[in-house]
Structure 1
């Protein structure tokens, strides 16, 4: 949101004239209505697809004000969501180890290797016995022994593979996969935020003062699309002499009257300035001190009845 402080120069000039031309009276002072205007804008540029409000409309907090085209943001969100799901699946797979089907295959291979080992052992024992009887040569016995050692090595290899298959992945692999999950989640959160920012809502109850674009227009980044007047920012400014300031306190009740107002409305002092206004730089002396005026701000209880720039009369109770 882009917030601009708008002070009615015409009203300020009017106050100066009124202060110069007439006294404030006993506890009664001249002032004017002011407010903080809000000018909503999107953080990124785009084409305006929806203008949900128009000049003069009253909007509630959270109501949709306008929306920009979001096809690219939706695609980015969907891609980030898929990447996040993939990263989570990869992490879960590493934590579980091999699938049951893969473990079953290793078990079958191990059973075959054990059978070959047992056969190789019998062949070796027979060759050794026959060698003692001078029936076979030494080379035949050595060949049988080599085949036995190879069969035993294969059995040991498959037994180790079966143990590893039942274990999860290494700690460093799991940590890397977990980090990938967090990265994917962060990218998804950013993509979702970018998508949400294409729809701008009212930050508080307000009235629409003006709109600057129409549907189909291209809106540059951070460019206000409209001007809002939040009712909770409406306040009254009035000015009091220096000797009155020590008698005022925050929360002090006041009565506010204006031309055309059906009745006087109540309010409370919300701000007391510490700086003199409406006077040029002067040397503070006993003769000039009474000319210094101080700005006071009061919050009316029914602000919707007041408009910025409207002259008012404030009575301190």
Structure 2
């Protein structure tokens, strides 16, 4: 009887040892962690202009699509700015057109003065030649000289006028460009009084109400995107030796009992969670105790219809027996 008890005890110890060995081998080949959480892209929603909220078109946790109206800002001031900019642009264009018309007339005047100048110049040269041979009186030469001076003065005056108009036209064209740019800015500001969804997902953290004054580019609430989901699993550093990107992963979601999702290891963090904390631990003391660090492992989820929620707790198990990719 005593011998039987001894054998039974030995057998039990062996069974426990074998069980522990199998458990250790299983944990080595299939490392798991419950320090893992569902992640998704979070889009902060903000208006691009400052103003008073006129309407909020969504509610908390509402499902939305790209292009859905989220909220609007009172556009009274922005509409007035657009009207004023359009009027300024129209005025600048009219002034530029007026200068263009005056330039056409000035160019004709210069052409006429240039023709008169050439004619008067030839007359003066002929008069000088005749006077040199004694065939023309001094009075006639003086008259030709006077006429040439007047024609030259008219040509100079008309050319100066043309240059002034051309300079003025350039300035007015600059005014047109400036007015057009201001109109585009005001039209953009008016369009920005309506804020639309930029991604499919769900509304979150909504506290915005009609009548609220919002500054430009200040986040008002968030959109949890539905297009991509992942799990950030924090594994002990002792479990990372066999984990590789591409290995298959099983994920159990705490809020979805009985549901097991699949995915693959996407990447392994190059720093522990403590490395990037605001107050990293300081071990340079005489009472130092070694603590096993945890490193984030990003797990990409396979497409699923499961109702996931960002931040949900999970249990992640990696199948390291399938080494599908290297680091």
Per the shorter chain, which TM-score range? 0.5 to 0.7
Deviates further, 42-51 or 155-164: 155-164
Does the CA-based 8 Å contact 2:53-2:214 persist in structure 1? Answer: yes
The equivalent of 2:33 in structure 1 is 29
Distance 1:271 1:186, change over 3 A: farther
Tell me the SS of whatever aligns to 2:70: strand
Distance 1:33 1:281, change over 3 A: farther
The equivalent of 2:197 in structure 1 is 202
The equivalent of 1:257 in structure 2 is 252
Q: Does 2:177 match 1:182?
A: yes
- Post-superposition shift, 1:160? 6.7
- Post-superposition shift, 1:71? 1.2
Q: Which residues in structure 2 correspond to 1:212-227 (within 5 Å)? A: 212-227=207-222
Distance 1:154 1:62, change over 3 A: same
Where do 5+ consecutive residues of structure 1 fail to align?
A: 1-22, 109-141
Q: Does 2:237 match 1:242?
A: yes
The Cα offsets for residues 170-195 of structure 1, whole Å up to 9 and x where unpaired, read as 3x444433433332233223222322
Tell me the SS of whatever aligns to 2:204: strand
Q: How many residues end up aligned between the 2 structures?
A: 272
The equivalent of 2:43 in structure 1 is 38
The Cα offsets for residues 4-51 of structure 1, whole Å up to 9 and x where unpaired, read as xxxxxxxxxxxxxxxxxxx99423322222345434222443222222
- Post-superposition shift, 1:220? 4.8
TM-score between the two structures when normalised by the length of structure 1: 0.62
- Post-superposition shift, 1:70? 0.9
The equivalent of 2:84 in structure 1 is 79
Does the CA-based 8 Å contact 1:58-1:207 persist in structure 2? Answer: yes
Q: Which residues in structure 2 correspond to 1:91-170 (within 5 Å)? A: 91=96, 93-94=98-99, 97-98=102-103, 169-170=165-166
Does the CA-based 8 Å contact 1:255-1:316 persist in structure 2? Answer: yes
Tell me the SS of whatever aligns to 1:247: coil
Runs of 4+ aligned structure 1 residues displaced above 6 Å come to 101-108, 145-168
Partners of 1:258 and 1:61 in 2: how far apart? 28
Does the CA-based 8 Å contact 2:32-2:235 persist in structure 1? Answer: no
